[in-house]
Structure formats: structure tokens, C-alpha cells
């Protein structure tokens, strides 16, 4: 995901939009945590995307006019499968580990994107960027602390989730260079819904009207978050907006402690801070070098 160069920098507006973005993404995690295990993870992920299709109706016309070839559809299909499994793992992790840990581990994905861009897109990985990647992985180890505490299935789900979302964003980078953003986002939503449908049917439980209402709200907040995030990038450089994403971890920790009775873990905050600092440095270097940033901003929620 690349950042369009703003025609005029408005740092305060960028920060405000990013704060609103963070609030919406934290709302997504809170609602999913509230719904909990009432609905199986594949079904919850499917309903989130199915209900969210209503927000993508304006994209149908540019999608039909795009004239996609077989290669493009194969890439869209590959991205849809990776994203669908990643979203399912994210929903599962939300029922297994605290909100703060899910939020902190979500920041690992941009690091994998940086590695993947070097391996598959021939981007140069300078020594300083390698050091930032290593620091971010150390941050992940601080959060997990293997050998000191048990690494649960929820943690493993988030590790795989980060790899799958990185693959999704790398493909998005390739497709964004070939066609409008509306086409890229619209096809992702449709294909993810189709991929998740058989997984959801296999574990289907009748959802209540309340559950459907909550998941519709998840779709609304997720869509709104991506929109306001775009406004933030148009208003100010990533170097300005990136550090604001750290507040999502703070809000998620407070939410977990005050609403869901999840004790705050200083190691999670510290490890998340290390990861965010590393990703922020990578984004800053991209801005300084005036190159199109491949590494997406480290937003806490990408569903």
C-alpha cells in the first residue's frame, strides 16, 4: 500500500484523521471481542465481509469497466484466499488472547511486507532497514516470551495472520500499479466473501439479530477506518501520521483492562513499542528517500 504524495502538507489534519482511524479500528476489536465465541471465527469473518459488501456498491461500475485479464484475476484470487484465511485467524485470535496482544502483534505484518518486497519485488533492503526489521522481530519475541510463558494457539494464529496479510498487501501493491484503487478493494471484498462462504457453512450456527447488528457495525467501522486513514495520508506524510498509530495499542490496553478485565502487560506494551518504532523508522526512511513506500502503515486492525 503506497502513500500518495500530498499536494500540501497539513500535519494537524493528518494527525486528527489518524486519531479517528485508530478509534474506529479499536472499536472493531472491541466489538469482535464482545461477540466472542458466540459465532465461530470463519462464520464471523464471512458475515463481516458479506454485510460489508453494501459499502462497496459504488465500486461495481469501475470493477466492470476494468477489463481484467486472466493474470489479474489469478492475482486477485490468490490475494483473496490469503486475506480470507488471515481474517479468520484474526477473529480466532480475538477469542483466545487479550486485545492488547492482538493489537501489538498486528504491527508485525508491515515488517514481513518489507522482507517480501526485497525478495519478490526487487526492492533494495539497506543495512538500516535490515536493522529495523530485526528490531521489530525482537519486539515480537518480547511480546511472546517463549520459554517464559506459554505461547497459545491465539499467538500462533497471529503469527500466521501477519504473513498472510503481508502477502495480501504485496499483491495489492502490484495491482495498485495497474488499476484504480476502487477495483483492487472491490475485488478483495467480493473474493474474500466467496472464499469464506464454504468455511462458514461448515461451522454455521444461527446468528441472532443482535450478533448480525454487531457485525454490521464492525463492517461499518472497518470501512470507515480505511477511508479516514486515506484522508490522513492525503493530509500529511507517513512520517507524521505513523507514530500516531501507537495510540491504538494504548487504547486497546485500556479497553481490555477496563471493559474486559484483561490485566495490562508491560511486556506487551514494550514489545509493541519496539515494533512500532521499527516500522515507523522504515516508513520515515521511505519518505526521506522519496520512494513509493511498499510497507503499509502499521494499523492495528486490517479486517
Per-residue pLDDT tens digits for 185-209? 788 888 999 999 999 999 999 999 9
User: With b meaning 16 or more CB within 10 Å and e meaning fewer, what string describes 82-98?
Assistant: bbbbbbbbbbbbbbbbb
Nine cell digits for residue 301 = 486492525
- Give me 230's grid cell: 486515506
Compute CA distances 154 → 90, 159, 264, whole Å.
Answer: 9, 9, 17
Domain chopping of the chain, boundaries? 11-288
pLDDT at 273: 86
Is residue 294's pLDDT more than 90? Answer: no
Cα distance between residue 70 and residue 176, in whole Å: 16
**What cell does 213 get?**
447488528
- 234 versus 218: which is more confidently predicted? 218
Q: CA angle, corner 218, sides to 214 and 220, nearest 5?
A: 115
Structure confidence at residue 1 (pLDDT):
41
> Which among 40-54, 127-141, 227-241 has the top mean pLDDT?
40-54
Q: What is the residue-averaged pLDDT of the chain? A: 82
H helices of 98-152, in order, are: 99-106, 109-120, 127-144
Q: Is the pLDDT of residue 157 over 70?
A: yes
| Residues 300/249, Cβ–Cβ less than 8 Å | yes
Place of cell 476502487: 182
To the question of pTM greater than 0.85 for the whole model, the response is: no
Sequence-ordered list of residues with C-beta below 8 angstroms from that of 20, at least 6 positions apart, any chain? 228
Which band of pLDDT confidence, cut at 50, 70 and 90, is reported for residue 286?
A: low
Please name the residue that has the C-alpha cell 484475476.
73
- Percent above pLDDT 70 for the chain: 88
Which residues pair with residue 260 across a beta bridge? none
Helix axes 99-106, 127-144, angle to 10 degrees: 160
Amino acid at each position: 500500500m503506497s502513500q500518495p504524495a500530498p499536494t500540501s502538507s497539513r500535519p494537524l489534519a493528518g494527525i486528527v484523521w489518524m486519531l479517528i482511524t485508530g478509534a474506529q479500528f479499536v472499536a472493531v476489536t472491541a466489538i469482535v471481542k464482545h461477540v466472542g465465541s458466540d459465532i465461530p471465527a470463519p462464520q464471523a469473518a464471512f458475515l463481516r465481509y458479506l454485510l460489508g459488501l453494501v459499502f462497496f456498491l459504488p465500486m461495481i461500475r469501475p470493477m466492470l469497466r476494468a477489463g481484467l485479464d486472466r493474470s489479474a484475476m489469478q492475482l486477485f484470487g490468490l490475494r483473496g484466499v490469503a486475506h480470507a484465511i488471515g481474517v479468520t485467524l484474526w477473529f480466532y485470535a480475538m477469542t483466545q488472547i487479550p486485545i492488547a496482544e492482538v493489537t501489538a502483534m498486528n504491527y508485525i505484518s508491515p515488517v514481513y511486507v518489507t522482507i517480501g518486497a526485497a525478495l519478490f519485488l526487487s526492492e533494495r533492503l539497506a543495512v538500516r532497514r535490515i536493522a529495523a526489521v530485526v528490531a521489530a522481530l525482537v519486539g515480537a519475541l518480547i511480546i511472546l516470551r517463549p520459554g517464559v510463558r506459554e505461547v497459545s494457539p491465539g499467538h500462533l494464529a497471529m503469527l500466521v495472520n501477519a504473513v498472510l496479510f503481508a502477502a495480501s498487501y504485496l499483491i495489492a501493491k502490484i495491482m495498485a500499479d495497474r488499476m484504480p484503487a476502487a477495483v483492487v478493494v472491490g475485488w478483495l471484498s467480493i473474493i474474500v466473501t466467496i472464499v469464506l462462504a464454504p468455511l462458514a457453512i461448515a461451522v454455521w450456527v444461527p446468528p441472532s439479530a443482535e450478533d448480525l447488528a454487531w457485525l454490521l457495525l464492525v463492517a461499518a467501522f472497518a470501512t470507515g477506518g480505511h477511508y479516514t486513514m486515506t484522508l490522513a495520508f492525503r493530509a500529511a506524510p507517513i512520517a507524521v501520521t505513523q507514530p500516531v498509530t501507537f495510540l491504538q495499542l494504548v487504547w486497546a490496553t485500556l479497553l481490555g483492562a477496563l471493559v474486559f478485565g484483561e490485566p495490562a502487560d508491560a511486556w506487551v506494551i514494550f514489545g509493541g513499542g519496539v515494533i512500532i518504532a521499527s516500522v515507523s523508522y522504515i516508513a520515515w526512511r521511505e519518505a526521506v528517500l522519496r520512494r513509493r513506500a511498499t510497507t503499509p502503515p502499521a494499523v492495528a486492525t486490517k479486517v
